[in-house]
C-alpha cells in the first residue's frame, strides 16, 4: 500500500512535481515506482502540463475566536426576545438571528477575549439552551494542475453507457442541485446554462460570506465541483457533467481560502431547502476534534433538509482515517462519500467509517475551473459530486432520498478485499462499493423495461 498524501496541507503543485508527473513518477501519493508498476490502472490519467495555484492562504480550523452560537429553548424565537436577551452587555458587538425549524438560534460577535465570560453569563438566562463557539469548516480538495486529457472518472463509472440507457427512458431531468462551496463562476462557458435562475433572470443563489454579496466563485473549488455535476457537453475539451440538464443553485459558504463556518453552513443548507433543492452537495467539512462542540445547529439544518425530502451528500475527508469521517459526512442524515484512485482502489487519503455510504473517483479528476478553463483535482471533495450527479438523474423518480440512495447503492461495484465487507455488504473503507452510473440507472430502470 502506498503511503498517504497529506491533503490537509495547502495544495500548490510545484514545477518539479509537474515534471515528475510528466516523467511518470508519482505525484499524488508517495508510492515507489515498483509499487505503481505492480498495479494496473483501468483508465488513462490526464497528465498535468502546468501548475495552478488555487488558494491565497491555508483554510482556517478550530473555533472562530470571537463568534458564539446561542441556541434557545422552545418559545424563544422572536427577534425581540433575541435582541432583549443580548442587550445591555457592552461586550456583545453584534447579533444575527437564524430561524431553522426546530432549531432556533443566534450568532453573536463579542469583543476580543470576551467569549468565555459572555458564555457564562448567557448560560444563566432561562431561555438559553446552549452556547458554543462557532467553528471553521474547509474545502476537501484542490484543483492542482491544468491538463490536456479526458475525464477518466466518467469512464470509470460507465457514464456514457448509463446516459445512453437513460435516454431510452426519459429526457435528462432538470433537478435542482445546491452546491454549498466557494461559489460557482457564474459566467463560466460550460456552466452558465446550468445555473439556476429566478423568474426575473437573476441567479438563484446566495452568499453566506460576510462582505461577499454574490455566490460568484473566487477560489475555483466550487466551479470544479459544479462541473462534475452539470457541465454542458463540450466534446472539444472532453468535458460533460453527469446531468448537464441539472439546475445548479450556487450557495457560497466558503471564502477565497476555502474557509467557512458551521453557522454559515447551516444558513446555506436552509437557503437551499427553502429554494427547492432536491440534492445538496457539500464538498467540505471539519474534523470532529476541530469542531464537535459547535455542530448542533448545522446538524439541525441537515435534519430539517432530510425531513423535507432533500438528499444530502458530503465528502468523507482527507485524513486517511479508517474510522473518523469529517462533519457533515459523519451525520446520519448525510450520504458520506470517500474517494478511489485511477487503479479503482481506495485513494491514499480517503477517510472511512461506519457512516461511509459509497466511494467514487477522487484522484486526478478532470473538470471545469475559473476563467472557463479546466484542470485536474484531487480529494474527496471531487468524489462527492459524482454521487450528487448520479442522484440528480434519479431523484425525480424516487419518492424519498432513501429510495434514491438505495438505487445508487444497489448499483455500486464492490471493490477491494471482499473480507472487508460485512454480511450486509458494507465496508468501513468502501461503503457499499464504488459508485457506478450504469449500475444506478439499471436499478432505477431494470433491463426488462423499455
pLDDT digits (tens, 9 = 90+) for 175-184: 999 999 999 9
pLDDT at 77: 53
Q: What span, in angstroms and rounded, lies between the C-alpha atoms of 218 and 175?
A: 25
Sorting pLDDT into bands at 50, 70 and 90, what band is 450? very low
Distance (Å) of CA 89 to CA 73, 142, 157, 317: 21, 42, 57, 40
Element (H, E) at 436: none
Mean predicted confidence (pLDDT) in 115-125: 89
The model's pLDDT over 8-24, given as tens digits with 9 standing for 90+, comes to 333 333 333 322 333 33
Mean predicted confidence (pLDDT) in 220-227: 97
pLDDT at 289: 82
Residue holding cell 516523467?
23
Q: Which three cell numbers stand for residue 174?
A: 432538470
Where does 63-137 sit in CATH, by number?
A: 3.30.70.260
Sorting pLDDT into bands at 50, 70 and 90, what band is 85? low
CATH 3.30.70.260 in the chain is located at: 63-137
Active site residue 341: no
Is the distance from CB of 127 to CB of 72 less than 8 angstroms? yes
Catalytic one of 221, 247, 330, 436:
221
Q: CB under 8 Å to 113, separation ≥6 — which residues?
A: none
Active site residue 426: no
Is the distance from CB of 355 to CB of 291 less than 8 angstroms? no
Residue 2: count other Cβ atoms within 10 Å of its Cβ: 18
Catalytic one of 66, 181, 267, 331:
181
Is the distance from CB of 130 to CB of 363 less than 8 angstroms? no
CATH 3.40.50.200 in the chain is located at: 139-444
Dihedral angle over CA of 315, 320, 321, 327, nearest 10: -20
Q: Which residues pair with 261 in a beta bridge?
A: 136
Q: What span, in angstroms and rounded, lies between the C-alpha atoms of 329 and 337?
A: 8
Level-2 CATH architecture, domain 139-444: 3-Layer(aba) Sandwich (3.40)
Active site residue 49: no
Catalytic one of 381, 388, 427, 436:
381
Q: What span, in angstroms and rounded, lies between the C-alpha atoms of 283 and 11?
A: 16
pLDDT at 395: 87
pTM of the model: 0.86
Sorting pLDDT into bands at 50, 70 and 90, what band is 80? low
Q: What is the residue-averaged pLDDT of the chain?
A: 83
Amino acid at each position: 500500500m502506498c503511503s498517504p498524501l497529506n491533503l490537509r496541507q495547502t495544495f500548490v503543485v510545484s514545477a518539479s512535481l509537474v515534471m515528475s508527473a510528466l516523467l511518470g513518477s508519482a505525484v499524488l501519493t508517495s508510492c515507489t515506482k515498483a509499487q505503481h508498476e505492480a498495479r494496473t490502472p483501468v483508465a488513462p490519467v490526464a497528465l498535468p502540463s502546468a501548475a495552478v495555484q488555487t488558494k491565497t492562504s491555508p483554510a482556517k480550523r478550530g473555533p472562530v475566536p470571537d463568534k458564539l452560537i446561542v441556541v434557545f429553548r422552545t418559545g424563544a424565537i422572536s427577534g425581540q426576545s433575541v435582541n432583549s436577551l443580548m442587550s445591555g452587555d457592552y461586550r456583545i458587538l453584534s447579533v444575527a438571528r437564524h430561524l431553522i425549524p426546530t432549531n432556533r438560534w443566534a450568532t453573536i460577535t463579542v469583543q476580543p477575549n470576551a467569549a468565555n465570560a459572555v458564555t457564562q453569563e448567557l448560560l444563566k438566562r432561562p431561555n438559553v439552551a446552549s452556547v458554543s463557539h462557532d467553528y471553521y469548516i474547509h474545502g476537501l480538495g484542490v484543483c492542482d494542475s491544468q491538463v490536456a486529457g479526458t475525464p477518466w472518472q466518467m469512464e470509470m463509472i460507465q457514464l456514457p453507457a448509463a446516459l445512453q440507457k437513460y435516454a431510452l427512458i426519459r429526457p435528462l431531468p432538470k433537478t435542482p442541485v445546491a452546491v454549498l462551496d466557494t461559489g460557482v463562476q457564474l459566467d463560466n462557458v460550460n456552466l452558465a446554462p446550468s445555473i439556476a435562475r429566478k423568474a426575473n433572470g437573476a441567479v438563484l443563489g446566495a452568499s453566506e460570506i460576510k462582505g461577499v454579496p454574490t455566490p460568484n466563485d473566487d477560489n475555483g473549488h466550487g466551479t470544479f465541483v459544479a462541473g462534475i455535476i452539470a457541465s454542458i457537453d463540450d466534446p472539444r475539451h472532453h468535458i460533460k457533467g453527469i446531468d448537464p440538464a441539472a439546475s445548479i443553485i450556487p450557495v457560497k459558504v466558503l471564502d477565497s481560502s476555502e474557509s467557512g463556518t458551521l453557522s454559515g453552513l447551516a444558513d446555506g443548507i436552509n437557503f437551499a431547502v427553502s429554494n427547492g433543492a432536491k440534492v445538496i452537495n457539500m464538498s467540505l467539512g471539519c474534523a470532529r476534534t476541530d469542531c464537535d462542540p459547535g455542530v448542533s445547529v448545522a446538524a439541525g439544518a441537515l435534519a430539517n433538509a432530510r425531513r423535507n425530502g432533500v438528499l444530502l451528500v458530503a465528502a468523507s475527508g482527507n485524513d486517511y482515517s479508517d474510522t473518523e469521517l469529517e462533519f457533515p459526512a459523519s451525520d446520519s442524515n448525510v450520504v458520506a462519500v470517500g474517494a478511489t484512485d485511477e487503479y479503482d482502489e481506495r485513494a491514499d487519503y480517503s477517510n472511512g467509517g461506519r457512516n461511509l455510504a459509497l466511494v467514487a473517483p477522487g484522484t486526478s479528476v478532470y473538470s471545469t475551473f475559473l476563467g472557463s478553463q479546466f484542470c485536474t483535482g484531487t480529494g474527496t471533495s471531487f468524489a462527492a459530486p459524482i454521487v450528487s450527479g448520479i442522484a440528480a438523474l434519479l431523484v425525480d423518480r424516487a419518492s424519498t432520498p432513501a429510495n434514491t440512495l438505495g438505487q445508487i447503492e444497489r448499483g455500486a461495484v464492490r471493490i477491494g478485499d471482499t473480507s472487508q465487507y460485512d454480511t450486509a455488504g458494507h465496508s468501513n473503507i468502501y461503503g457499499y462499493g464504488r459508485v457506478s452510473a450504469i449500475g444506478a440507472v439499471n436499478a432505477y430502470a431494470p433491463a426488462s423495461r423499455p
